């Protein structure tokens, strides 16, 4: 079979299977099998499929994924995450402090957890009722929290950057450190959005907020765990003491101790964190395995290589290629969640970006920012439904979507800045070498 027949056939079959409601991991595997049978017998394909599944589950680097997921679940089910919001809200005595505190808390949570949805759920569960009680506009309250969760997938550790590194065979440590400056810049841009919102819609931000100050012990119990966990991850990886997987293991163990010691975690919460991690990894494990099988078929038929050569034959400028790829991801992000997009599309897209002359560490950061837009765009914007769900009927999905629009604009602006100034993402990795 020709490579384009395989590519179009895989894509068409995948869309059909997803369209009839088959879960994405099973759709990926089912779309791959007919083309696998073209090159292997039925019995051989069963063995090779089992080997592909096994290779994913014993991958040393992938052990970091459940550990970081578990770490985030522990923080979300203890008092550590919610207290961080309370500290930032009560410690910033300016108009709009609850909104700025939400951004800061999401950024802080992102420094110890790599999941956007868990970030929105943890901080939003505390911040949204408080902001609505204080008199903040529903669109601003929901928008800032849905968008704030995206900071968790840019600031290290990031699950999207981790998956990107696995698919593209790039350094996980370099990808993590490359996301630091863009992540801090994004938090700043979100704060600017809140400031401008307060000028245009002054009624959406109350003039004064009543909040009791925290004691010194409460501040230490709030900031200390987050700072310590983040420090362990950063120092262990970038000091050359441990691999990302080992750093994740140490950080997860430390989080267990801190969550029970100062975070008020109970045994029931610990069991819920374990079960939630297992449910998440059950899905992610199947997705990773099916994605590996899908990628094997693509690679065997040389679809990524042939697609790259065909695209480059049009003699487009590198930035035209980049614009087409980013537009493709923004549209696709309306229908697929980021992890699925990573394993379905990246094996074909990243060789194209490398051939166009772009640094793959830099593109990893740009790609991750684009994935952040995906979780904020309907109809499959995960963060939109998380925030709408925790509002318990107080905020409609339409209000959440409208509230996210200015923050999506900030994400687009960040992509523009990264394109204009690539060193925003590359300077820190260069300094660490």
Asked which of 4-8, 40-44, 401-405 is least confident by mean pLDDT, the reply is 40-44
Average confidence (pLDDT) over 92-102: 76
pLDDT at 65: 82
Question: Tokens 């999506």 identify what position?
Answer: 408
pLDDT at 196: 93
In the structure, what pLDDT confidence band is assigned to residue 84 with cuts at 50, 70 and 90? confident
Calculate helix-pair angle for 3-19, 303-312, nearest 10 degrees: 110
Contacts of 320 (CB under 8 A, 6+ apart): none
pLDDT at 114: 63
Asked whether residue 23 is assigned to any structural domain, the reply reads: no
Q: Three-state DSSP class for 223?
A: helix
pLDDT at 188: 93
Q: Which of 125-129, 226-230, 268-272, 395-399 is predicted most confidently?
A: 268-272
Average confidence (pLDDT) over 153-163: 83
Q: What is the DSSP string of 88-137?
A: HHHH--STTHHHHHHHHHHHHHHTT---HHHHHHHHHHHHHHHHHHHT--
pTM of the entire structure? Answer: 0.84
Contacts of 255 (CB under 8 A, 6+ apart): 71, 74, 75, 112, 225, 229
How many angstroms separate the Cα of 21 from the Cα of each of 173, 277, 341?
A: 37, 24, 17
In degrees rounded to 5, what are phi and psi of residue 238? -85, -10
In the structure, what pLDDT confidence band is assigned to residue 250 with cuts at 50, 70 and 90? very high
Percent of the chain at pLDDT > 70 equals 94
Q: Is a pLDDT exceeding 90 seen at residue 154?
A: no
362-414 pLDDT, tens per residue? 999 999 999 888 878 877 677 787 788 877 778 888 888 899 999 999 999 99
Q: Is a pLDDT exceeding 70 seen at residue 171?
A: yes
Average confidence (pLDDT) over 282-303: 81
Question: Tokens 């569960």 identify what position?
Answer: 125
Structure-derived torsion over alpha carbons of residues 256, 257, 259, 265, reported in degrees to the nearest 10: 90
For residue 234, the number of C-alpha atoms closer than 13 Å in the C-beta half-sphere is: 18
In the structure, what pLDDT confidence band is assigned to residue 178 with cuts at 50, 70 and 90? very high
**Overall domain count for the chain:** 1
Question: Tokens 């402090």 identify what position?
Answer: 97
Contacts of 136 (CB under 8 A, 6+ apart): 98, 99, 204, 205, 206
Asked whether residue 320 is assigned to any structural domain, the reply reads: yes
Asked whether residue 152 is assigned to any structural domain, the reply reads: yes
In the structure, what pLDDT confidence band is assigned to residue 2 with cuts at 50, 70 and 90? confident
Structural domain of 108: 3-18+28-432
For residue 109, the number of C-alpha atoms closer than 13 Å in the C-beta half-sphere is: 41
Percent of the chain at pLDDT > 90 equals 19
Residue 62 per-residue DSSP state: G
């Amino acid at each position: 079979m020709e490579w384009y027949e395989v590519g179009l056939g895989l894509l068409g079959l995948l869309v059909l299977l997803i369209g009839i409601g088959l879960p994405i991991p099973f759709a990926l595997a089912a779309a791959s099998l007919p083309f696998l049978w073209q090159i292997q017998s039925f019995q051989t394909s069963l063995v090779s499929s089992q080997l592909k599944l096994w290779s994913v589950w014993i991958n040393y680097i992938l052990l970091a994924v459940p550990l970081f997921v578990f770490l985030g679940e522990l923080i979300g089910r203890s008092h550590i995450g919610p207290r961080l919001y309370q500290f930032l809200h009560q410690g910033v005595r300016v108009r709009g402090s609850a909104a700025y505190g939400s951004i800061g808390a999401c950024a802080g949570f992102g420094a110890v957890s790599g999941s956007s949805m868990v970030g929105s759920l943890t901080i939003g569960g505390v911040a949204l009722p408080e902001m609505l009680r204080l008199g903040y506009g529903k669109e601003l309250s929901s928008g800032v929290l849905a968008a704030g969760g995206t900071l968790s997938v840019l600031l290290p550790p990031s699950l999207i950057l981790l998956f990107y590194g696995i698919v593209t065979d790039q350094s996980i440590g370099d990808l993590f450190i490359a996301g630091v400056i863009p992540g801090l810049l994004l938090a700043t841009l979100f704060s600017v959005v809140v400031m401008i919102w307060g000028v245009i819609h002054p009624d959406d931000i109350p003039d004064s907020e009543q909040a009791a100050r925290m004691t010194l012990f409460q501040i230490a119990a709030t900031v200390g765990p987050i700072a310590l966990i983040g420090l362990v991850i950063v120092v262990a990886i970038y000091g050359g003491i441990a691999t990302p997987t080992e750093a994740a293991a140490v950080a997860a163990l430390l989080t267990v101790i801190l969550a029970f010691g100062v975070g008020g975690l109970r045994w029931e919460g610990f069991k819920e964190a374990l079960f939630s991690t297992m449910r998440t990894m059950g899905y992610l494990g199947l997705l990773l395995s099916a994605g590996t099988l899908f990628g094997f078929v693509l690679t065997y038929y040389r679809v990524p290589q042939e697609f790259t050569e065909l695209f480059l034959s049009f003699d487009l400028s590198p930035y035209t290629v980049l614009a087409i790829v980013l537009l493709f991801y923004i549209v696709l992000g309306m229908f697929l969640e980021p992890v699925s997009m990573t394993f379905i599309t990246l094996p074909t897209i990243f060789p194209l970006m490398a051939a166009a002359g772009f640094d793959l560490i830099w593109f990893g950061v740009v790609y991750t920012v684009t994935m952040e837009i995906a979780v904020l765009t309907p109809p499959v914007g995960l963060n939109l439904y998380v925030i709408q769900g925790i509002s318990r009927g107080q905020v409609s999905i339409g209000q959440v979507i409208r509230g996210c629009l200015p923050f999506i604009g900030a994400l687009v602006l960040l992509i523009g800045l990264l394109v204009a100034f690539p060193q925003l993402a590359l300077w820190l990795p260069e300094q660490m070498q």
